[in-house]
Amino acid sequence: MRGPVVADTADTTYHHGNLRAALLERAAAVLAESGPDGLSLRALARDLGVSHAAPSRHFRDRRALLDALAADGFTELNRRLSEAAGAPGDTESRLTGAARAYVRFAVERPALLGLMFAAKTEQDPTSCLRELGHESLRLAAALVEQGQREGLVRPGDPHRLAQVAFSTVHGLATLALGSLLDDTPLDEALDLAVDVLLHGLRAPAASV
Amino acid sequence: MRGPVVADTADTTYHHGNLRAALLERAAAVLAESGPDGLSLRALARDLGVSHAAPSRHFRDRRALLDALAADGFTELNRRLSEAAGAPGDTESRLTGAARAYVRFAVERPALLGLMFAAKTEQDPTSCLRELGHESLRLAAALVEQGQREGLVRPGDPHRLAQVAFSTVHGLATLALGSLLDDTPLDEALDLAVDVLLHGLRAPAASV
DNA sequence: ACCTGAACACCGTTCAAGT
DNA sequence: ACCTGAACACCGTTCAAGT
């Protein structure tokens, strides 16, 4: 060893131990630029200079790889959300910041967000993925609870109110990714959504 | 011809003219029970007793088939939405009814809804799909406009307010499909979402 | 026009065998 | 433990040829 060589160029020395990490890294790049359908285990193995059967040691399935990518996506999203939720400022600006962080994530990694929520549809077991998704909702619920203490949000189960808030922001991200927002600047659409949402959360339940 | 035989059993007489329709019908069934990844052109052809190259006459691509399915999905969704939007009752109950119709569609055809919004991410041209998605938003905008005339909804561009309303309902459907609503009954979550939404839409913009 | 059959280049998955 | 190489059963897509 001649020094603290952490990661020179991606020469040829994967193989021992970091194949799993290398697969995930390369897979994330391919997903971002070719979508999930462009992601092939064999091509991945080829890119990494490894036999086409090698990935199966680290991921039983193609699905397992996809799920791992989605899990990493939720982890990163939750990191950003909790950072935004812990930022200085009042609860209203924190909630706005979290919404912005969510939409930013969606715009930066559209295919990944799609995978995160598409994967769940075909899931059943005690999935690690579902747990990570719940963590997102828990972060939102914590913000809602803060808002309730300040009288900014109506009384009621913070988890249920958080489901509504999450729906609005996630739905808007979906519209944006689907080019369904047209000429509306995403920032403006988001500001309006947050405004409507905050007013709706404040008002006491009664109308319906 | 011995009588008004509309659709006997699906015997063997596709072939002439209705192969396209037969492919779409079978594809919709496979999509519903196996997801998009379980949909293979060759298997479809096999199911219909036709050569594996035959589908290419009617759908240039696998994508073209998927897009056609998504388009049919939007058409059906829009049919249901406009029916709900034209139902008797006041604007508030019509808006609630449209939201319910949306979520019902999502629950009945989860894979199709996923396809409808996933397909758009990878789209670019003057897609017929995007136009059908816009129609959904236009239906929502019409309802918002009705609400404005009755003083139920704040002033402002109805299309932009409709984007917010659509986001909330679509987002909630996504959460439900992803098993992220947990033990919350979907009906209750939807009622709460509509309540928050209506209060938010009514309140004049000011807070942000 | 509409479909067939063969061909091509790719897949995911499995499994004995190597080191 | 970790990886290889061959094998199997499937793909999507194309294209000459049939009727």
> What are the DSSP calls for A153-164, one per residue?
S-SS-HHHHHHH
Q: Identify the structural domains of chain A with CATH numbers, from first to last.
A: 1-59 (1.10.10), 66-208 (1.10.357.10)
> Helix, strand, coil shares of chain B as percentages rounded to 5?
70, 0, 30
Per-10-residue mean pLDDT of chain B, 208 residues long, equals 30 65 96 96 96 95 95 97 96 97 98 90 70 97 97 98 98 97 97 98 72
Return the pLDDT at B14.
53
Name the residue with tokens 């319910």: B100
pLDDT digits (tens, 9 = 90+) for A14-46: 566 789 999 999 999 999 999 999 999 999 999
Give the nearest nucleotide to B58, CA to C1'. Answer: C2
User: Which nucleotide has its C1' atom closest to residue B20's CA?
Assistant: C2
User: Could you say which of A92, A111, A117 has the minimum Cβ distance to residue B174?
Assistant: A117
Distance from residue A124 (CA) to nucleotide C17 (C1'), in Å?
Answer: 36
* CB–CB contacts below 8 A, A to B: 184
- Express each pLDDT in A173-185 by its tens digit: 999 999 999 999 9
Selected for mutation to probe chain A from B112, B199, B207 (highest A CB count within 10 Å) is B199
B73 vs A contacts (CB less than 8 Å): none
**Percent of residues, chain A, with pLDDT higher than 90:** 83
- Nearest by CB: A195 against B111, B168, B205: B205
Rg (CA), chain A: 20
Distance CA B206, CA B208 (A): 6
Q: What's the Å distance between residue A187 CA and nucleotide C15 C1'?
A: 54
DSSP conformation class of B204: P
**Cβ(B143)–Cβ(B84) below 8 Å:** no
